[in-house]
Amino acid sequence: MSNTYDLIVIGGGPAGYVGAIRAAQLGQKVACVERDKLGGVCLNWGCIPTKALLANAELFHKLSHDAETFGLSLDNLTVDWPKVISRSRNVSGNLNKGVAGLFKKNKITHIDGHAFIPQPGTVQVYNADDPERKGEVKETLSAKNILIATGAAPRELPFAPFDGEKILSARDAMVVPTQPKEILIIGSGAIGMEFAYFFNAYGTKVTVVEMLDRVLPVEDHAVSEAARKAFAKQGITILTGHKTSALTKTDTGITATVEPASGEGELTINADAALVAIGVRGRYDGLFDDSLGMETFKDHLKVDYHAENATYETSVPGIYAVGDVIGPPWLAHVASEEAVLCVERMLGHTAPDIDYTTIPGCTYCHPQVASIGFTEQHCKDNDIAYKAAQFPFLASGKAQAMNETAGFVKMITDPTTGEILGCHMIGENVTELIAEIGLAKRLEATADEVINTIHAHPTLSEAVHEAALGTDDRMLHF
């Protein structure tokens, strides 16, 4: 086969494989170079396998803590840790095969190896285990356009690099061979809190250290506080306003020195392992020749992704980049949308811009957290007039029936027009409920239109309806 293509995609994750499929649908001859497994970090080491782990944890937690409430009696409930881990890996494996099937269906050439761009329009492929390119080039590909979708890598503490055994990345944490008795989690973003819930549900003693003054710091203040209370009730120790100043390995695990913002009251924490979840950086090491002069920005590839009519082209003509490698928000659903938009505009199609202010964010701990749009604090900081209303799941019939009454739905609207400025949720299955607000914002619906939409009873979605009613001072059930 000819090694000349219309488009070469580097990376087979949610950005790469979706971009490749869309280009093929538009009649392009496409190759995708991936040095690991198709599906990328999300499918193999992130979004999907962690949700499989969390599903296990939720079931175990409910059986352990709520069985009597539901009139059930269980004896000798135990955990088969290797089976918990293997189920997660099997879920990823099945979906990985699905991506390969989509490539075959769309006649996309999948090339296993490490990609290197020596010049525009050319991609050299080395063995997948040869990222430093010490061996020979396996093959050389050419294309008019190249799309970089190589994702992101976890940030390390400068004084404590990952070792895969005692100082863990998220990837390491999801395949630990033995359940730790105690674990330290550094960082309380989505990854940190999901793993905090996962390990704690099985009885691991969990301590979370967060430098900022609240957990899940990107969320609305009310959500962060409700989450903190829920996690504390579950037995998770949370140290906000603290930083980890030292982390060393010992014969039995790790020892960490943790300092409060005040500088007084230094703590020493011993645990079997530490999970470092302090953020990510773009993954592009060894990807292109220095002579290209590729521009970067804060450890990510620089593109025009927040501009109107963004093309996602890098500083090098003909080379584009999408997904986590170009910066926040580091979300799989954003990466896929960027890839589709980039490919369509690359080929001259008209497509609407991505509105980065209306992207849903989800955290799959328990209770779940979901949000979209402005927080109350953002409105205050930017002198935006707003009205907020909050409906608790405690007043929801469906939540009561499910014994899942923690949390609430908060809606923020413009007090004059009723425009939905933001919506913030914490509770059972709120990661599913947030889609309604995403659609409402896309259609420029007002709170009134949500109010006039009949929500089935009894459902958790009624909480969205009630919160909308609350912005007009006519909440019915609270």
Catalytic residues: 457
CA distances 189 to 160, 239, 348, 362, 378, Å, are: 19, 13, 38, 11, 19
SS3 100: helix
Residue 327 CA to residue 249 CA, distance in Å, equals: 32
Token pair 């603290």 is found at 242
SS3 254: strand
State residue 153 phi and psi, 5-degree precision: -120, 150
Q: Distance between the two ends of the chain, CA-based, in angstroms? A: 67
DSSP 8-state symbol, 231: H
Q: What share of the chain is helix, strand, coil (3-state, %, to 5)?
A: 35, 25, 40
- Please calculate the CA angle 461-465-468 and round it to the nearest 5 degrees: 140
Q: Are 171 and 251 in contact (CB under 8 A)?
A: no
Q: Which amino acid is at 63?
A: L
What b/e sequence results for 419-442 when a residue is b if at least 16 CB atoms lie within 10 Å of its CB, and e otherwise?
bbbbbbbbbbbbbebbebbbebbe
Of 135, 133, 150, nearest to 33 (Cα)?
Answer: 150
Q: Report CA torsion sign: 25, 31, 32, 38.
A: positive
Q: Are 446 and 423 in contact (CB under 8 A)?
A: no
Residue 417 CA to residue 428 CA, distance in Å, equals: 30
Query: Beta partners for 268?
Result: 257
Residue 122 CA to residue 115 CA, distance in Å, equals: 10
Q: Helical H runs in 117-219?
A: 170-173, 190-201
Residue 8 CA to residue 272 CA, distance in Å, equals: 44
SS3 122: strand
Q: Are 409 and 463 in contact (CB under 8 A)?
A: yes
461: left (phi over 0), alpha (psi -120 to 50) or beta: alpha
Residue 23 CA to residue 7 CA, distance in Å, equals: 8
